[in-house]
Amino acid sequence: MQSNSISIRIKNRTVSLSSPIVMGILNVTPDSFYEKSRVNTEEKMIARVDAILAEGGAIIDIGGYSSRPFAVEVTEKEEIERLFGALSIIRKYFPDAILSVDTYRANVADQVIREFAVDIINDISGGTLDPRMDEIIAYHQVPYILMHMRGTPQTMQQFTTYKNLFHEVSLFFAQRIQRLSELGINDIVLDPGFGFSKTAAQNFELLKNLSRFTLFEKPLLAGLSRKSMLYKTLHTDAEHSLPATIAVNTIALMGGASILRVHDVNEAVQAIAMYEHTYSLSSVE
C-alpha cells in the first residue's frame, strides 16, 4: 500500500491521494478500442462528463489520438482540432472539473494548457516520443503522468522482449524521474503501461508486482480497464470484460495504485470503497 503522504499539486492546491481516486476516460477519437467510450457530439460529451463526475470520478482524461495497438496515425493538427472542440465544451459546462489530456506531443500539451488551463498531461510515451515535453511540463508546472512504453502505438508490440521486465521498467522510471527532477518537475505519476509494448503474460507480471514500484514514492496509476489482456485471457471481448476489470482494479489497489483510469467510473468507485472499508476494518482491534 502507498504512503499516506502521496499527493500531487493541481493549480496551487495539494490533492491528497492517500485515498485512491478514479480517472474517467473520455475519447474524442473515432477508433478507440472500446466503442462505447467514444463521444462525437456535444450532447454525448456533456452527458459523459456529467456521468463521470456524478459517479464519483475525480479526473476526466481526454484523448484525441487512439493509442491502441496499430492505431492509425493522427496528425498534430487533427489531434488539436479534436481536443479543442472537446475542451471548449467541457470548460463551458464544467469549468471546475480537473482535466487531464492524453497526448505525447509537446506542442499539443502546450496549447491545451494555455488555452483551456488543462490540469494534467498524460503522456503514454513518458517523454520518449517528443523530447520537448519535459520543457513544456517544466514551464507550466502541471502534474505529469509518466508511462512506460517502447516504440509507438503503431510499432510497440514489436518491442516486448525484456531480460528482466520489472528491472527495465524501473530503470526507465528512475532515469526519467531524475531528468524531470533536475528540471524542477516533482508532481509525477507513474504508469507501468499495461498493454503497451508488453505481452499479456508480462502485463499480469507487472500487476502482480505493482507494489514494488512504490519504492519511488510517487503516485501509481493503473490503466487496466477492459484491455485485451483481460478479454483475450477470458476469450471474450471488451464489452464483456467489466467483471474482469473490477477484479484487476482491486488487485491494483492492493498493490498500491492511487489512481484507477477507467471507462466504468461507478464500478471503480465502489471497488475503492470496498478496498478501503476492508483495510480500515482490519486495523480495528
Q: Which residues are catalytic?
A: 227, 261
Q: How far apart are CA 265 and CA 242, in angstroms?
A: 11
> What is 77-132 written as a DSSP string?
HHHHHHHHHHHHHHHHH-TT--EEEE---HHHHHHHHHHH---EEEETTTTSS-TT
Q: How far apart are CA 188 and CA 148, in angstroms?
A: 13
Which residue in 41, 110, 33, 115 sits closest to 70, CA to CA?
33
Residue 37 one-letter amino acid: S
- Cα 123 off chain centre by: 8
Question: Coil, strand or helix: which one is 61?
Answer: strand
Which residue in 268, 271, 195, 187 sits closest to 24, CA to CA?
268
Locate 183 and state its grid cell. 528540471
